[in-house]
A and B are shown apart, each in its own frame.
Chain A
Amino acid sequence: MAHDLEGMVSHILEEMHALQGAMLPILHAIQDSIGYVPEEAVPLVAKGLNVSRAEVHGVLTFYRHFRRTPPGKHVLQICCAESCQAMGANRLAEHAKKALGCDFHELSRDGLFSLEPVYCLGQCATSPAVMIDGEVHARMNPEKLDRLLEGTES
């Protein structure tokens, strides 16, 4: 794993280090390939970009999109912004927490799902919205969410 990670990160660095402002594209590329940005990647990226580890750590922890631990097999994001609130998003979020047996930013009891809040998926005309593994679903309610989770579990 450690060896693989080094290989992967150095490959990404090779491709991207010449970009202007390469930090975010590199962190995106790491997360895109393994689902998160592990601690061990930080010094590699720092070295590749000739910045301090603190700099990379700062960026990594500033942006909500970047995960520092492996996600579940599936990622469920629930929109918690105003438009979705007006259509019962808080109730939906509570339901999801109960159904998955975890809080936001945690793994579900069975380890299959990461549960995350998100602030707007741009589906405000048909709120509330959720996203599972990049697929958006609108006009959600607890019953529909249960069916969706059932269909995703595998």
Chain B
Amino acid sequence: MKIYVPGDSGALALGADRVAAAVEIEATRKGIRADLVRNGSRGLYWLEPMMEMETEEGRVAYGSVSPRDVAPIFDLGKSHPRFLGRAEEIPYLKNQQRLTFSRSGITVPLSIEDYIANEGFSGLVNALKMTGAAIVSAVTESGLRGRGGAAFPTGIKWKTVLEAESDLKYVVCNADEGDSGTFSDRMVMENDPFMLMEGMIIAGLATGASYGYIYVRSEYPHACSTLLEAAEILEKAGYLGESVLDSDKSFHIEVRRAAGSYVCGEETAMLESMEGRRGIVRAKPPLPAISGLFGKPTVINNVISFSAVPFILANGAEAYRNYGTGRSRGTLPIQLAGNVKHGGLIERAFGVTLNELIYEYGGGTASGRPVRAVQVGGPLGAYIPESLFDTQLDYEAFIKIGGTLGHGGIVVFDDSVDMMEQARYAMEFCAIESCGKCTPCRIGSVRGMEVIDGIASGSQQIGLLRDLCDTMLNGSLCAMGGMTPYPVLSALNHFPEDFAERRKK
């Protein structure tokens, strides 16, 4: 009998290894031949560690399993209170549209056999029969836009690199997922690393690049080691190397560890870091697509953008484009986090509303208190009040309400949150993480903290704070300083009652 206990770090953080050990002990004690499989996570983190058993009805799940639940689960089976029925039928999962995360939790992350048995590499096989230009136009027609936050059309970026003339071109995967409230990149890297690498190989075929780097956060040790192993496996299996699947195309992937700097998620700071320098933002132009890593034309995309590509090449641009709304095509892996009852990964087509996500999937706050605000899109995203929860997830709709979709993270706060504190934290975070190249970001963020402290001690400086935000918004070199005003201004606009003098503690 196959028994699945995820090896994803999110499951491990909740004790999955102890559950796995209990499964082995219990199976031995009962004399059952149990085949313990360490699959990935399905992303239903509120139910992790989620143990699954193979039965005649398919894989049935047990949620939030602790080691001491294991023996009674063996005895009681379906009548155990942790029994959830068939994993795919859990409403949270069933009501999703998983294109990119279709394998996560189902397969063993480093099993090529599992990957291929679940549509893996069919995109690459198709791409190998196409010209670079044809691959680029498929990606363009799919409507895919950069999932890292900037939402720039991926196909147009690739076209620029394809048309740039150079003996050497690079593909760089930005896996420096530093936004609080986001974990979809981590999930891909830990649970379906071949998909990311397949996407990068396809990007190489499309643009004529033969070398790829993955710049991955040092805060993700599990993801780092999975990627290193995955690259080795693909090399041995002939997917990476001098001849990709016996074709005349070569592609190599090297994994590079970042070193804990948030601003290195900005693409030009990342390039500086990869070249061995401090992560200082470069002025654009030149665009990295023309002169990027080591001065060569470089495709830079986020993990999720690359990961969307195999599906597009396997099933056609139309199949991807048919999901979504307006100019936001395809699906977005949404990460529900913070003070929420049912936190996890929800992949849905664009167009789903915040209300559906927070209440229908999320079940409201974990604390049971009313939701006061959600921050969408990481530390540089706006705080959104309940009155705007009918907003659809769509790049343009979020710009309209003064926010950003960013990387699709939603952090929920209950009514105990102090929005002036959150605004101050946004400035503080910017002060800590600023690369220091431009003044509005480096000095503006420190002034921002001082001005907010001033408001807390009774001086009337709201106008000054708005002025300062205006300077940062319009005068910063990159999104670090340029978007720090989003959380600050949104807190100020939607929760002005919090910006008042504080009694001394």
Contacts and interface: CB of A to CB of B under 8 A. Distances in A.
Interface of A: 20-25, 27-28, 49, 55, 58-59, 62-66, 81-87, 118-127, 129, 131, 134-139
Contact of A83 (B14, B48, B178, B181): B181
A124 B14 contact: no
B259 A87 contact: no
Interface string B312-352: 00000000000000000000000111111001110000000
B366 interface: yes
B256 A62 contact: no
Interface stretch (B134-142, B406-414, B440-448, B471-479): B406-414
Given A119-B429, A125-B336, A62 B183 contact: no
B105 to A, nearest CB: 14
Interface string B288-330: 0000001000000000000000000000000000000000000
Given A25-B256, A82-B422, A119-B180, A127 B337 contact: yes
Given A82-B375, A122-B186, A137-B13, 17 more contacts: A20-B275, A22-B276, A24-B256, A62-B278, A83-B337, A84-B180, A119-B429, A120-B177, A121-B219, A122-B182, A124-B181, A124-B182, A124-B337, A125-B335, A131-B219, A136-B12, A138-B13
B220 interface: yes
Interface string B397-425: 00000000000010111100100001001
B274 interface: yes
B179 interface: yes
A136 B220 CA distance: 10
Interface centre among A62, A63, A86, A136 (most CB of B within 10 A): A86
Interface string B251-293: 0000011111110000000000111111100000000000000
Contacts of A20: 275, 294
Nearest to B383: A82
Sort A-B residue pairs by CB-CB distance and give the 8 closest, nearest first. Answer: A125-B343, A23-B276, A81-B180, A124-B337, A63-B259, A65-B260, A125-B45, A138-B13
Interface string B173-195: 00001111111011000000000
A93 to B, nearest CB: 13
Given A123-B183, A136-B12, A24 B259 contact: yes
Given A63-B259, A65-B218, A138-B10, A122 B276 contact: no
Contact of B14 (A28, A49, A59, A126): A126
A65 B294 CA distance: 24
B379 A87 contact: no
B46 interface: yes
Contact of B277 (A23, A28, A122, A129): A23
Interface string B1-40: 0000000011011100000000000000000000000000
Contacts of A121: 219-220
Contacts of A138: 10, 13-14
20 contacts: A22-B276, A24-B258, A24-B274, A59-B276, A65-B261, A82-B338, A83-B180, A86-B414, A87-B339, A87-B366, A122-B220, A123-B9, A125-B46, A125-B337, A125-B344, A126-B10, A126-B14, A126-B45, A127-B338, A136-B10
A23 B258 CA distance: 11
Nearest to B412: A86
A7 B186 CA distance: 36
A123 to B, nearest CB: 5
Contacts of A81: 180-181, 379
Given A126-B13, A126-B46, A59 B183 contact: no
B406 to A, nearest CB: 12
Contacts of A55: 277
Contacts of A126: 10, 13-14, 45-46, 48, 343
Contacts of A59: 276-278
Nearest to B10: A123
Nearest to A135: B12
A138 B48 CA distance: 11
B69 to A, nearest CB: 16
Interface string B193-234: 000000000000000000000000011111100000000000
A119 B430 CA distance: 12
B45 A82 contact: no
A54 to B, nearest CB: 11
A65 to B, nearest CB: 4
A81 B409 CA distance: 13
Q: Which interface residue of A27, A65, A66 has the most chain B CB atoms within 10 A?
A: A65
A74 B263 CA distance: 27
Given A126-B10, A127-B338, A82 B180 contact: yes
A127 B413 CA distance: 12
A13 B218 CA distance: 21
A55 B272 CA distance: 13
Contacts of B12: 135-136
Contact of B183 (A82, A85, A86, A125): A125
A81 B221 CA distance: 18
A134 B13 CA distance: 11
Interface string B147-188: 000000000000000000000000000000111111101100
A85 B181 CA distance: 11
